[in-house]
């Protein structure tokens, strides 16, 4: 079995806004679609142009769409009798961006979509994610790295705007 060390850079911003407000500001520009229909349409696409049309209809102004959301905060609050901080994990991405990275570094597909963690702490609401560029740096591919850096910049703008 082959192994590769990956030094991950975690990017975080803290907001004084409420969890609910941060989450609303974060998700407003992210596309949401019926994922079953989306996957059906992706599978039915016969050409790259058809695929692009499906993806572009699903993403929001941020150029991202939501693939999943998990609520680890709900699980953590169970041991505290329903009390405690809120925490939400969002998986967002754009299959067209992933395609550009994965065509030259196949392992990139294991890092996309991107995870964003939104969680309440004593000092505010934290928005965090692991830099795609840091995940792909060990592969040494300049094409994938350029796409990853552009992706990181989009995610950073999204988080900074949400933290506001």
Domain extent for 48? 10-163
Is 146 inside a domain boundary?
Answer: yes
Residue 1 lies in a domain: no
Structural domain includes residue 69 = yes
The answer to whether 36 and 58 have CB atoms below 8 angstroms apart is no
- Confidence category of residue 109, pLDDT binned at 50, 70, 90: very high
Cα–Cα distance for residue pair 82/97, rounded to 1 Å: 39
The total of structural domains in the chain comes to 1
CATH number for position 69: 3.30.310.70
In a domain, 5, yes or no: no
Specify which residues 124 forms β-bridges with.
Answer: 121
For residue 103, tell me if it sits in a domain. Answer: yes
Residues in the chain, how many? 164
Residue 118: half-sphere exposure toward Cβ, Cα within 13 Å: 27
Would 79 be classed as within a structural domain?
yes
- Report residue 20 CA to chain centroid gap: 18
Is there a domain that residue 58 lies in? Answer: yes
The 10s digit of each residue's pLDDT in 15-72 is 999 999 999 999 999 999 999 999 999 999 999 999 999 999 999 999 999 999 999 9
Q: Answer yes or no: is 75 within a domain.
A: yes
- Which SS3 state, helix, strand or coil, does residue 130 take? strand
Does the model's pTM come out above 0.95?
no
């Amino acid at each position: 079995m082959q192994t590769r060390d990956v030094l991950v850079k975690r990017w975080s911003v803290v907001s004084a806004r409420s969890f609910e407000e941060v989450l609303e500001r974060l998700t407003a520009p992210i596309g949401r679609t019926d994922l079953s229909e989306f996957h059906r349409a992706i599978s039915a696409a016969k050409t790259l142009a058809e695929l692009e049309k499906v993806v572009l209809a699903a993403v929001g102004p941020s150029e991202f769409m939501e693939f999943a959301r998990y609520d680890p905060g709900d699980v953590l609050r169970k041991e505290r009798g329903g009390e405690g901080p809120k925490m939400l994990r969002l998986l967002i991405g754009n299959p067209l961006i992933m395609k550009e990275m994965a065509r030259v570094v196949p392992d990139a597909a294991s890092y996309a979509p991107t995870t964003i963690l939104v969680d309440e702490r004593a000092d505010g609401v934290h928005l965090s994610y692991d830099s795609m560029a840091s995940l792909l740096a060990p592969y040494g591919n300049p094409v994938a790295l350029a796409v990853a850096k552009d992706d990181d910049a989009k995610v950073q703008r999204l988080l900074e705007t949400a933290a506001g």
